[in-house]
């Protein structure tokens, strides 16, 4: 039992990292099809204003029609590895720093500090998770290519080995800078806005600290995060999927991607795939935090309070 004036007992750092990764992986099982649709839409119509898919629903129907039910789970192994690396690191570091910045009387960090903690955790997690991210983008993009142009990775480990062997190990970190930039934006928006939204809902007096509150706070957080991070996300997706043309990469850098997309596809193409991105991010945020809070709750009951 915690003595007066001391911080309450919490789970070890290793458990925080483990629970963070497991929560993200659990959420990914449910939202992988939405991630697939989002990636396909971001890659659709490259270099022109022609629309390969009219809507997210059209994209989903096309994938089911051409690739079958299993096709919507293409890249699941990469999605799970991404969560095991990126989310484990991100949520683990966020939780540890959040607790460190919490005062002895239990006062949490202010909004600015939450955002700073989120950005630090996100950038670190993104660097660790970039190889799995590269594999995920390529595996989810494969089905839209003609059969002779497909990479045909059988699973994430096959993808990582082949990318290293065929293109060099540094290719695993291709797009690392925009991936980290996206993570900074996502985590500053997501983690800080989740905490802030949750507190605001609790302050209304209409919500208790329960799953309904976590769900509403996550959906608000997801909307803020989607709007803020999509332009950076499309840069990341295009760079990680690009091929070499006559010995030169399709894009020079992230700014070149932005300029090319705006010039050839229109300004609002930077938010191409908004619906599946939000439809994925909202529930993924909800499920991740719900799984995380439930695991922490059970750990506290069975290991800390026993």
At 62 the three-state DSSP class reads helix
Supply the DSSP string of 82-113, one letter for each residue. HIIIIIHHHHHHHHHHHHHHS-TT-PPP-HHH
| Burial zone of 164 (CB within 10 Å; 0-12 exposed, 13-18 middle, 19+ buried) | middle
The rounded distance, in Å, linking the Cα atoms of 125 and 136 is: 16
Element containing residue 185 per DSSP (H, E)? helix 176-203
Give the pLDDT of residue 50.
Answer: 60
Give the pLDDT of residue 20.
Answer: 78
Q: Say whether pLDDT at 5 is over 80.
A: no
Give the pLDDT of residue 172.
Answer: 93
pLDDT digits (tens, 9 = 90+) for 182-230: 888 887 777 677 878 888 999 998 998 888 888 888 788 888 888 888 8
Higher pLDDT, 301 or 132: 132
Q: Say whether pLDDT at 6 is over 70.
A: no
| Structure tokens given for 280 | 């994925």
Q: How many other CB atoms are found less than 10 A from the CB of residue 199?
A: 13
Say if CB 52 and CB 60 are below 8 A apart: no
**Region 167-176 average pLDDT:** 91
pLDDT digits (tens, 9 = 90+) for 7-66: 556 677 778 778 878 888 888 888 888 888 888 887 776 665 566 777 778 888 888 888
Give the pLDDT of residue 156.
Answer: 94
**Region 171-176 average pLDDT:** 90
The rounded distance, in Å, linking the Cα atoms of 196 and 193 is: 5
Q: Say whether pLDDT at 89 is over 90.
A: no
Give the pLDDT of residue 10.
Answer: 67
Give the pLDDT of residue 141.
Answer: 84
The rounded distance, in Å, linking the Cα atoms of 78 and 65 is: 23
């Amino acid at each position: 039992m915690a003595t007066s004036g001391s911080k309450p007992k919490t789970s070890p750092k290793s458990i925080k990292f483990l629970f963070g990764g497991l929560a993200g992986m659990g959420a990914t099982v449910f939202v992988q099809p939405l991630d697939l649709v989002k990636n396909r839409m971001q890659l659709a119509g490259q270099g022109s204003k022609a629309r390969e898919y009219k809507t997210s629903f059209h994209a989903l129907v096309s994938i089911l029609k051409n690739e079958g039910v299993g096709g919507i789970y293409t890249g699941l192994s990469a999605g799970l590895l991404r969560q095991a690396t990126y989310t484990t690191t991100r949520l683990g570091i966020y939780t540890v720093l959040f607790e460190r910045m919490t005062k002895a009387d239990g006062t949490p960090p202010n909004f600015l500090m939450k955002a700073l903690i989120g950005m630090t955790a996100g950038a670190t997690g993104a660097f660790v998770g970039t190889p799995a991210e590269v594999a995920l983008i390529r595996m989810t993009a494969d089905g839209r290519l003609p059969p002779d142009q497909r990479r045909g990775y059988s699973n994430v480990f096959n993808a990582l080995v082949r990318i290293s062997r065929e293109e060099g190990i540094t290719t695993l970190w291709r797009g690392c800078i925009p991936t980290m930039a996206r993570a900074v934006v996502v985590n500053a928006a997501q983690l800080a806005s989740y905490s802030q939204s949750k507190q605001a809902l609790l302050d209304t007096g209409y919500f208790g600290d329960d799953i309904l509150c976590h769900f509403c706070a996550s959906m608000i957080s997801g909307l803020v995060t989607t709007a803020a991070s999509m332009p950076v996300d499309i840069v990341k997706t295009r760079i990680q999927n690009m091929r070499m043309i006559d010995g030169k990469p399709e894009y020079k850098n992230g700014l070149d991607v932005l300029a090319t997309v705006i010039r050839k596809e229109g300004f609002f193409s930077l938010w191409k795939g908004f619906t599946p991105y939000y439809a994925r991010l909202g529930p993924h945020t909800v499920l991740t935090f719900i799984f995380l809070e439930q695991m922490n709750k059970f750990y506290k009951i069975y290991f800390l309070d026993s």
